[in-house]
Chains A and B, each alone.
Chain A
Amino acid sequence: MDPIVVANKLTRQVNAPDGVLRILDNVDFSVIPGEAVAVTGASGSGKSTLLGLLAGFDVPTRGSVHLLGQDLGTLSEDAKAALRAGNVGFVFQSFHLLPSLTALENVVLALELAGVVQAEERAREILDEVGLAHRLRHFPRQLSGGEQQRVALARAFAVSPQILFADEPTGNLEQESGRQVADMLFNLRRDTGTALVLVTHDETLATRCDRVCRMSNGWVAPS
């Protein structure tokens, strides 16, 4: 089976006050459709950088990323955005819901950008699935952290993405909310067959994935 995302010899370096800092160093990485892969490691090990590169948010210094069969290095920023729309989902540690939109509108916006018709109906369904049917008209600031992350999950899964990138999805939540969000994440993934790249330092969460990659100083240790 062809991988849904492949990174070859991925290197990312930045200029720091003490000279060039290599955040990722010749990383090879791949995920096949439907697979759940956890990326773990200490702070500063390069987990989030890897996630950003795989999702096409950032450009590698060297190496290549193929997402959904497309070489991201050959695509313009707009082409990468178009590739993401409807195919790639995201869940961030800080939720990143649009503060001026209600829970329902946040989900509808993602569906409309993906070109889904009857977006509102689909948004209501998925918000119901994450247990927020009674919070549709609430703004992010009126929701708890756990609820905000559930809206973010609904937004991510609403478009039935082929792959979901999740960056510390429970990192900002207390234990009980974190557990609920994690359960929902894995349940939705199972139901939709979506591949998952999960960046986390939570070992318990990582073990719920099919495979765990440990990062250390810009390297990915073989799992």
Chain B
Amino acid sequence: MSRNYWVWRRLYRDLQVSELRVLVLAVAIAVTAVTSVGFFTDRVGRAMTLRSAEVMAADVVLRSRSLIPADYVTKAKILGLDVAEVREFPSVIVVGEDMTLLVSVKAAGSAYPLRGALMIADQPEGESYSPGSGPVAGTAWGDARLWAQSQLARGATITLGHLDLTLTQVIKREPDRGQFLFDLAAPRLLIGLQDLGATGLVTEASRVRYRLLLAGSAQALDTYRRWFTRQQAEGLTEGIEIEGVGDERPALQSALDRAASYLGLASLSAVIIAGAAIALAAQLYARRQTDVAAVMRALGASQATLLQEFLLGLMLMACVGTLIGLVFGYLGQGGLGYLAGRALAVELPSPSVRPVLAGLISGLLMTLGFGLAPIVALRKVSVMRLIRRESSALTTSSVSLTLMAIAATTGLVFWQARDGVLAMWVLAVMIVLILGLVGGGWLFFAGLRKIRFGPSATRYVLSSLGRRSGIATLQLCAFGAGIMALLLLMVIRVDLLDSWSTSISPQAPNHFAINIQPLQRAAFESALETANLASQGLFPMVRGRWEKHNGMRVDHAAFSSPRAQRLASREFNLSVAEALPEGNTITRGSWFSPAKGRAGQWSVEEGLAETLGIVLGDVLTFRIAGEEVSGAVTSLRRVVWDSFQVNFFVIASPGLLVDRPTTYIGSFALPPARGAVLAGLIRQFPGVTVFDVGMLLEQVQEIIDQVSLVVQYVFVFTLLAGITVLIAAVQVGAHDRLTEMAILRALGAGRRRLEWGLLLEFLILGSIAGLLAALFSVLAGHILAREVFDLPFEPGIAVWLVGIGGGALGIGLVGLVASRSVLRNPPLTRLQWIQS
């Protein structure tokens, strides 16, 4: 019989008859949690990426100011990508005899849009529907504003350049509208690409924006991007920029980033809960194998043989648990995916292989990380225990156990987390939590050992907990980690999620007004006030080109990233502010203060600073109306882009931009029913351009709403996994306790007394674990809110009540229920079982 035969044989038998099933169950639950959350977040994450691709009308877009060479189209087609060409430029249409109207023309190929839906209607108030293709030759579609401003009826003729077109449909929804806020200033006219040449408007001098939309498989897109990067490296892509989902549009990117962080946190919670359960189960497994190890040692087995066999046994069980977990994880996410898909009204992509791999590695890595220390300890078991029972029970070094657990958690957290900052903070909180629970538990149980008062049952429970401080501390850690994960979910779900959902309030501005002249400022503000429109006020805006960085001329071509090149080359909208604008937070340096001198200070948005390599103390020079204006960067700001307030990349200190050509910009919220107010404003201030960002706002709000819902689904699942693992933890720790109970029962202790003893023990464990968990979840909530989610966090008293009360009652009841069989059955049953 081979050595492997023995391992298989023992494993098979143990799985039949012993608590090893608990270990398998713990691993299975852990892997179920990790994989179902993994599967689910993977699918939802990809659905979200698809959803955000909709607002670009493509997966990847190439942009240029000149015609994009045919090579780029050919390469895309070779790779099997879908391609659509779009050209945009401002122009004027002639309506009737003498009316002209400034429009933003879009000429699109028939495949447009590749992602998202273009919705049209036959009349401005008509039902919207999705067209089969774009405008046919000789026709044009206009948005509601074009129809309103031109006052044309369906079938009217408009003239664009040399071409007469028939206006046929109303554009109700254009997926990629609002790529640049200022494009929204003019109404949209959509024509077919085939008609563009006939207009005669596209010449070398015309200001046309060329876009090549691409969509297809992730692999093909990746290949295309790599090919593009190579072209770029060879200097062949001059003037062409590539953009994927999330490369641009800070408001959308911010929403998606936060969504990824929330989902990542949900996944990490599952990892934490699972680790706690596996640590307990592995400890019990090792304790159960102590006699087996001692007998084998007496028969001459070497330490290496023991380690090999028990490790192999442990890993076999990990495999069994992992496989079960993978199956249940897959089934679990299937149900969730169905529910979420319906609720979100999106079709989730089918599961990928990645979560399977993640589950497999998680299961094995967690079992090793949390289970290796007790297994290694088995190797050094004293054979003397075969003769003298009381001598040398198995002792696992709590230091090595903790270090191994931390190492395993670190690996998993960094591997699983989608957000490095989040992972680092979760890990830091975890380490503090483990150390806190171990330290707190040790002190508490050491104190319990000294208690010599109270009724006999109470005294017995307290001293018994004190004597079993090793396993009790371990249990405390498991309960604490489990409760903390659940509390954190509560905190995150309720508080942070609410903060996020409300970060775009119903009062969020949906209209922007620009070109307000200084002399019109007071009148415009008063008009907004009279119309009772919510506004943050008007902000000065001065246009300037970035000229010098620390005295050196800025060469935009020297920047490596296209985004940096674009930002550096375009005109900046500079503003001036006395006080830090609402919703902005200083991340480095300090806001302008008279003490630092009133002149020459800039405050720069941190993302821009990072992209352009600007640090605190740098001197920036802008050319404004032909003159240079310099100042030092004295603060970096974080801006909540998805708030839809007016925000600026660069703000000057008061006095720096005096006498520079200034206009004002403002935003206000206009309820849809009050369109007449807008018409009044436009009539009163004809020079002011007002444009509607309602569609973009709606899209961001929609993503936030969808993701909130999804996160809640994921959290509910993690919550269920957490509860299940807590129950497993109670059962795992029950071995010694139940044996003692059986002995006490045999000695004649009444059922009520034993129930009270059990309840008391679990109440103590639960409340201490709950207290420590509440403490650490509040701490973690603060850190996560500030460092990761950038949201305010006000924990209520509920965290403490639920932590301590819920911990005590929940674990008390679960413990009691889990131990009922012993109280119900005759003690001999348990004692015989222990003997066997």
Contacts and interface: CB of A to CB of B under 8 A. Distances in A.
Do A and B pair up? The answer is: yes
Interface stretch (A30-38, A97-105, A128-136, A187-195): A97-105
Among A58, A77, A85, A113: residue with most chain B CB under 10 A? A113
Contacts of B298: 55, 57, 84, 90, 96
A52 B388 contact: yes
Interface in B1-44: 1, 3, 6, 9-10, 13-14, 17-18
Contact of B9 (A81, A83, A100, A113): A100
B387 A167 contact: yes
Nearest to B291: A96
Nearest to B304: A78
Contacts of B545: none
Nearest to B385: A57
Contacts of A55: 298, 383
B10 A98 contact: yes
Contact of B6 (A109, A141, A155): A109
A78 B303 contact: yes
Contacts of A140: 836
Interface residues of A, number: 39
Nearest to B300: A85
B1 A112 contact: yes
A140 B17 CA distance: 13
A114 B387 contact: no
A82 B304 CA distance: 12
A58 B384 contact: yes
Nearest to B305: A113
B387 A48 contact: yes
A49 interface: yes
- A48, A81, A100, A114: most-surrounded residue (chain B CB, <10 A): A100
Interface in A3-33: none
A81 B387 contact: no
A184 to B, nearest CB: 20
A173 interface: no
Nearest to B294: A96
A68 to B, nearest CB: 13
Nearest to B288: A99
A66 to B, nearest CB: 18
Contacts of B296: 98, 109, 113
Contacts of B382: 57-58
A77 B382 CA distance: 10
B386 interface: yes
B388 A92 contact: no
A109 B299 contact: yes
B94 interface: no
A209 interface: no
A51 interface: yes
Contacts of B625: none
Interface residues of B, number: 32
A58 B386 CA distance: 11
B715 to A, nearest CB: 41
Interface in A44-94: 48-49, 51-52, 55, 57-58, 77-78, 81-86, 88, 90, 92, 94
Contacts of A155: 299
A127 interface: no
Interface in B73-132: none
A108 interface: yes
Interface in B388-414: 388-389
B295 A98 contact: yes
Contacts of A110: 299
A52 B387 contact: yes
B418 interface: no
A81 B17 CA distance: 30
A215 interface: no
B6 A57 contact: no
A86 B301 CA distance: 11
B297 interface: yes
Given A90-B298, A109-B6, A113-B300, A99 B386 contact: no
A119 interface: yes
A120 interface: yes
A16 to B, nearest CB: 12
Contacts of A77: 303, 380
B163 interface: no
B292 interface: yes
B295 A96 contact: yes
Contacts of B301: 81, 85, 113
Contacts of B18: 100
B302 interface: yes
Interface string B422-453: 00000000000000000000000000000000
A113 B388 contact: no
A22 to B, nearest CB: 16
Nearest to A85: B300
A49 B388 contact: yes
Most interface-central of A51, A58, A97, A98 (chain B CB within 10 A): A98
A12 to B, nearest CB: 11
Among A52, A57, A88, find the residue whose CB has the most chain B CB atoms closer than 10 A. Answer: A57
B1 A119 contact: yes
Contacts of A97: 295
Contacts of B388: 48-49, 52
B352 to A, nearest CB: 40
A92 B387 contact: yes
B300 A84 contact: yes
Contacts of B305: 113
A135 B298 CA distance: 24
Contacts of B17: 99-100
Given A100-B13, A101-B10, A108-B1, A81 B302 contact: yes
A82 B302 contact: yes
A26 B14 CA distance: 44
A88 B296 CA distance: 13
B300 A57 contact: no
B303 A57 contact: no
Given A96-B295, A100-B14, A105 B836 contact: no
Nearest to B6: A109
B299 A113 contact: yes
Contacts of A114: 299-300
Interface string A145-175: 0000000000100000000000100000000
B358 to A, nearest CB: 33
Nearest to A99: B836
A15 to B, nearest CB: 13
Nearest to A92: B386
Contact of A57 (B13, B387, B836): B387
A105 B387 contact: no
Interface in B263-319: 291-292, 294-305
A180 to B, nearest CB: 21
19 contacts: A48-B387, A49-B388, A51-B387, A52-B387, A52-B388, A77-B303, A81-B297, A81-B301, A83-B300, A90-B299, A96-B295, A98-B10, A99-B13, A99-B836, A100-B10, A100-B18, A113-B305, A140-B836, A167-B387
Given A57-B298, A90-B386, A109-B296, 15 more contacts: A49-B388, A52-B384, A55-B383, A57-B382, A57-B383, A57-B386, A78-B303, A81-B301, A81-B302, A84-B299, A85-B300, A98-B10, A100-B18, A112-B3, A155-B299
Interface of B: 1, 3, 6, 9-10, 13-14, 17-18, 291-292, 294-305, 380, 382-384, 386-389, 836
The 4 nearest A-B residue pairs measured at CB: A85-B300, A100-B13, A57-B383, A141-B836
